[in-house]
A and B are shown apart, each in its own frame.
Chain A
Amino acid sequence: KQEVTQIPAALSVPEGENLVLNCSFTDSAIYNLQWFRQDPGKGLTSLLLIQSSQREQTSGRLNASLDKSSGRSTLYIAASQPGDSATYLCAVRQGYNNNDMRFGAGTRLTVKP
């Protein structure tokens, strides 16, 4: 059974700092991996989607990498801003015909002005 772990559980950084969030998964036979942002009490906003055949995806100040063989993904946030404060979740999907996505517990990020 796929298990997804995110470390650290919480992170606090000063504004302007570059940071890396980590996601690991136990079964490397994944279909894709997706990073989300969740504001308190709200839904999930899709940030980046990495297919199993891809190594990384970029959107603005965000860069996500995927290393299937080692069961790891990282989300890199450049020049962090207070507006980046949120919980970041990664989720893996096992296969095209597999509807379930396994989510990590998230990393709660605080960017201090």
Chain B
Amino acid sequence: SAVISQKPSRDICQRGTSLTIQCQVDSQVTMMFWYRQQPGQSLTLIATANQGSEATYESGFVIDKFPISRPNLTFSTLTVSNMSPEDSSIYLCSTRSGTGGTEAFFGQGTRLTVV
């Protein structure tokens, strides 16, 4: 299994500002994933982050809005830039572990409110 420490757990931010979310994994992992969960909705994949390469973004998400860093095999950050109230969501990081990297594990989530 993999244990992911995610912080902050929640924040209230002013529109137009940026917030950086951090995730630390207790073991080295190849890929990390960032998801968004809008109020009352299910999870949507934002991007996949591999160490040493640019993150791969899903349709509807762009690097200028959600820059991601992956400096080593245990750490990643997601920045939500130039925030608006529509960015209010839970943001989650995830990785895969177990035999063949089959099982998904998640951080505790960051509950972001933009006012």
**Interface, chain A (partner B; CB < 8 A):** 31-32, 34, 36, 41-46, 49, 51, 89, 91, 93, 96, 99-101, 103-106
Contacts and interface: CB of A to CB of B under 8 A. Distances in A.
Contact of B42 (A51, A93, A96, A103): A103
Contacts of A34: 103-104
B10 A101 contact: no
A42 B42 contact: no
Judged by DSSP, the binding face of B is strand
Contact of A43 (B6, B42, B45, B103): B6
A100 B42 contact: no
Nearest to B45: A100
B23 to A, nearest CB: 10
A34 B10 CA distance: 26
Interface in B33-79: 33, 41-43, 45, 48, 58
Contacts of A49: 98, 102-103
